[in-house]
Amino acid sequence: MHVQRIQTPPTAVPPPDFASMADTAERILVVEGVGKRFGGLIALSDVSLSVGRGSITGVIGPNGSGKSTLFNIIAGTLRPDRGRVFLNGHDTTRASPAQICRNGVGRTFQVSRLFGEMTVLENLVAVAHGASDAEAVERALGLLDFLEITALRDKWGTELSYGQRKLVEIARALMLRPTVMLLDEPFAGINPRLQNRIVDHLEALRQRGLTLFFIDHEMRIVLEICDTIHVLAQGRVIAEGDAAAIRSDPKVQDAYF
């Protein structure tokens, strides 16, 4: 990858502006001083970041940098040792995954977690909360159409290929009509054509006003589509900014390239 080396002094990451944390007009998701350790291992030491409403925000970082831990804390599957998470201005640090989900967060999983012995349609309809059966089916068919996977409707979860599962998981998360989508490595291990297709879909979703927050290793895509990128290394955010800023940040180059 071609990296421009611009000799600028490394800009320090500005401390999060805690005074405007309540300002949810712009920031849909705020992570404030989150730390988490597993026994002697410090997974996250002190992570603060925010996600702008309607943005595509990415988190990258080498293996073991704490990306998945951060993600699981936001989604409620892990409790942080310290720090807080705000979603739409509400403190969701201690909320259960189901509560967070019902507050407008849809998520996909790093390793496919489709319901295997259920059809694709059933996978989608199962999570449509509050809608009638007819509405749920209508919504599901609309999403399958949107993601161009209508042909998979009656296939069993176990029958799908790896890439198809990723698409169905996105569709399933969208069934919840989320305001934020958490995508855990949506591009890992799938072919470039499908990657581009997913990118197109994510762009289209953003056009609809959805906020997308994802972690991935796929540098090419992350730098291409993200408005803001946070780079994690050894449990802390070492850089944040747009693609150009990340490319030129020497700390990132040290940690990653």
Partner 1 sequence: MKSLVIIVVSAGLAALIPFVGSEYALSFTVQLFVFVALAYSWNLIGGYAGYTHFGQVAFFGVGAYTGALLMNAGVHWLLAAAGAGVSGALLALPLGGAMLRVKGPFFAIGMFGMARVCESFALGFDGITQGGTGLYLTPVTDLKPLFFVLWAIAFGMVALTWKLDNSRLGIQLLAIREDETAADALGIRTTRLKIGTFVASAIAPAAVGSLYATYLSFIDPATAFAPMTELTTIAMVLLGGMGTTFGPLVGAVVMSVVNELLWSRFPEIYLALVGAVILAVVLFMPRGIVSFAMRRAWWWVPAARSSLRRLASRPTPSRSPKEAH
Which parts of this chain interact with partner 1 (CB under 8 A)? 75-77, 96-98, 101-102, 106-107, 109, 113-119, 121-123, 125-129, 133-134, 136-137, 140-141, 153-154, 157, 172-173, 176
Q: Cα separation of 69 and 196, whole Å?
A: 27
Q: How far is the CB of 107 from partner 1 (least distance, A)?
A: 6
Q: Cα separation of 183 and 165, whole Å?
A: 13
Q: How far is the CB of 233 from partner 1 (least distance, A)?
A: 27
Whose Cβ is closer to partner 1: residue 25's or residue 134's?
134
Q: Token pair of 119, please?
A: 């059809």
Whose Cβ is closer to partner 1: residue 100's or residue 237's?
100
Whose Cβ is closer to partner 1: residue 75's or residue 222's?
75
- Enter the DSSP assignment of 203: H
Q: How far is the CB of 120 from partner 1 (least distance, A)?
A: 10
**Mapped to the 3 state alphabet, what secondary structure does 156-188 carry?**
EHHHCCHHHHHHHHHHHHHCCCCCEEEEECCCC
Whose Cβ is closer to partner 1: residue 99's or residue 234's?
99
Whose Cβ is closer to partner 1: residue 22's or residue 98's?
98
Determine the length of the chain. Answer: 257
Q: How far is the CB of 99 from partner 1 (least distance, A)?
A: 8
N-to-C CA span, the chain: 9
In angstroms, what is the C-alpha Rg of the chain? 18
Give the helix, strand, coil percentages of the chain, each rounded to 5.
35, 25, 40
Which amino acid is present at 123?
N
Q: Cα separation of 166 and 183, whole Å?
A: 10
Whose Cβ is closer to partner 1: residue 70's or residue 252's?
70
Q: How far is the CB of 71 from partner 1 (least distance, A)?
A: 11
> Helices marked H in 76-191 — which ranges?
97-102, 120-125, 133-146, 162-174
Q: How far is the CB of 116 from partner 1 (least distance, A)?
A: 6
Q: How far is the CB of 87 from partner 1 (least distance, A)?
A: 14
Q: Which residues contact 174 (CB under 8 A, 6 or more apart)?
A: 106, 143, 181, 205
Whose Cβ is closer to partner 1: residue 47's or residue 173's?
173
